[in-house]
Structure 1
Amino acid sequence: MNRRDIIKSSALFLGYAVSTATLSEAFMACSQEAKLDWKPTFLTNNQAASIAEIAETILPKTKTPGAKELGVPQFIDKMLKDLLSEEEQKDFVGGLEKLEEDCEKAYGKSFVECTPEQRKEFLTKLDVEAEKLPPSVWGIRLAPPSPTPFFRRVKELTLLGYFTSQKIGKEVLGYDPIPGKYIACMPLTPGMNAWNE
C-alpha cells in the first residue's frame, strides 16, 4: 500500500465518521421531546408544547395573565384524559396532527417553532374556516350534530380553563361567592364593576 492509497482511505474514513455523526445528530434533533415544566398525563410532550402555544396565542399575556401562566395547557390535558371519550380523544389528537401538518406546509416549521405573528395568522385562518354551529330553532338543532372541529374544541377548552381559573375569577371577573343584598339601582363610581359590587 502506498502513501496515496493511505491518504485516500483516511479521507474516506474521516468522511464516513463525520457524516455518521452529523446524521445521528440530525435524527436526534428531530425526535427530541419538547421540554416542559409539567408532565402531561394524556398528551406527549411535543403535543403538550403545541397545545400550550395554541392556548397562549388565543389568550396571550397582556395586563392579565396569559393562558400558560394560569395552567390552561395542564387543564386541557386533564380534560382530554378524564372527560373525553376515546373517539373524541382520537379526533382531538388527529386534529392536532393535522394542524401541525398544515403549519409545516404553510411555514416550513412546526407550530411551536413559528413566530408569534405566524401563529396568530395561522390560528385566525383556522378560526375563520372552522365550521359554524348548525342552525337551531328555540334551542333545537335543525341538523344532526357533526363532530366538533379541532380548532373549535381547543378554543373552547382554552376559554373554559382560563375563565374558570381562580385568579381570573377573583381578580378579573370579580367573583363574589356570597353576594350581598340585591340593590336594584345603585350609583356606579369610576373603576367599579357593576357585576361584582
Structure 2
Amino acid sequence: MMNRRIWIKQLMLAGGGILLLPACVNDEGAVSVPLKNISITSKQELLLADITETIIPKTNTPGAKELNLHHFVLKMFDDCYDATKQAGIVAGLKQFNDFAKDSAGDNFIALATNKKLQLLKTIAKDATVNADLKLFLTETRKLTIKGYSNSKYVLTKLRPYELVPGRFHGCVPVNKAV
C-alpha cells in the first residue's frame, strides 16, 4: 500500500520533469525579448545584436549592444510591422549569414569590423541582392538609429532635455544691444 503523500510527491516530480523536457530539447534557445508575431532563435538575436553594433559601434559613447538596441529593433519588428513585412524581415535575417559566408567567406560575427562595414554597404547598394535581405538591413538600420537617438543615454547625457522656455540658441552673435 502506497502512502498518499509519497504518491503526490512523485506525481509532482514527474509533472515538473515533463514541463522541463522541452527546454532541454530545444538547442536553439529562446530570445531574451518576448515576441508574439515573429519567431527567431537566440543565434539570430546575437547576429542582430552584432549588426546593430556595426551600425552604431562603441566609441567614447556606448554602442548599440550596450544600449540593447537589438531588443528595441526586435520589439518594433514584432509590434509595428504588418505580417508581410515581418515575413520579409525574418527571411532576410535568415539569409544574412549565408550572404556573409558567400561574400566575405565567414560568418558575420567572425568578420573584422571593416569587412562587416563593407558587407553592409554591399547589401545596401547592390541591386542584385535579394529584396528580403535588403528590406531587413534597411529597416534594421533605420530602427537602430531611431532607438539610439531616443535612448535614455542620448536624451540624458548627450542631448539633455531643457524645460520650456529653455535657453535661446541664436544663430547670429549679438555684439551690442540696439
CA distance in 2 between partners of 1:167 and 1:112 (Å): 26
Distance apart, 1:180 and its partner CA: 2.3
Aligned residue in 1 for 2:119: 122
Evaluate the alpha carbon distance shift between residue 100 and residue 62 of structure 1 in structure 2; reply closer, same or farther with a 3 A threshold: same
Q: Does 1:175 find its partner at 2:168?
A: no
Letter in 2 for 1:57: T
Aligned residue in 1 for 2:52: 55
Evaluate the alpha carbon distance shift between residue 106 and residue 167 of structure 1 in structure 2; reply closer, same or farther with a 3 A threshold: same
Aligned residue in 2 for 1:112: 109
CA distance in 1 between partners of 2:113 and 2:122 (Å): 14
How many correspondences in the alignment? 142
Evaluate the alpha carbon distance shift between residue 181 and residue 115 of structure 1 in structure 2; reply closer, same or farther with a 3 A threshold: closer
Q: Is the 8 A contact 2:52 2:141 kept in 1?
A: yes
Evaluate the alpha carbon distance shift between residue 66 and residue 185 of structure 1 in structure 2; reply closer, same or farther with a 3 A threshold: closer
TM-score, normalising length: structure 1: 0.61
Name which one, 1 or 2, has greater alpha-carbon Rg.
1
Letter in 1 for 2:153: K
Distance apart, 1:174 and its partner CA: 3.0
What SS does the aligned partner of 2:120 have?
helix
CA RMSD of aligned residues (A): 3.0
TM-score, normalising length: structure 2: 0.67
Q: Is the 8 A contact 2:104 2:119 kept in 1?
A: no
CA distance in 2 between partners of 1:179 and 1:68 (Å): 35
- Which of 73, 77, 80 is 1:76 aligned to? 73
CA distance in 1 between partners of 2:101 and 2:169 (Å): 56
Greater fraction of residues in helix: 2
Distance apart, 1:119 and its partner CA: 1.1
Q: Which runs of 5+ in 1 are unaligned?
A: 1-30, 132-145, 189-197
Q: Deviations over 1:56-85 (max 9, x none)?
A: 001001111101111101101111121111
Percent identity reads: 29
Q: Which runs of 5+ in 2 are unaligned?
A: 1-25
What SS does the aligned partner of 1:149 have?
helix
Aligned residue in 2 for 1:41: 34
Distance apart, 1:130 and its partner CA: 7.0
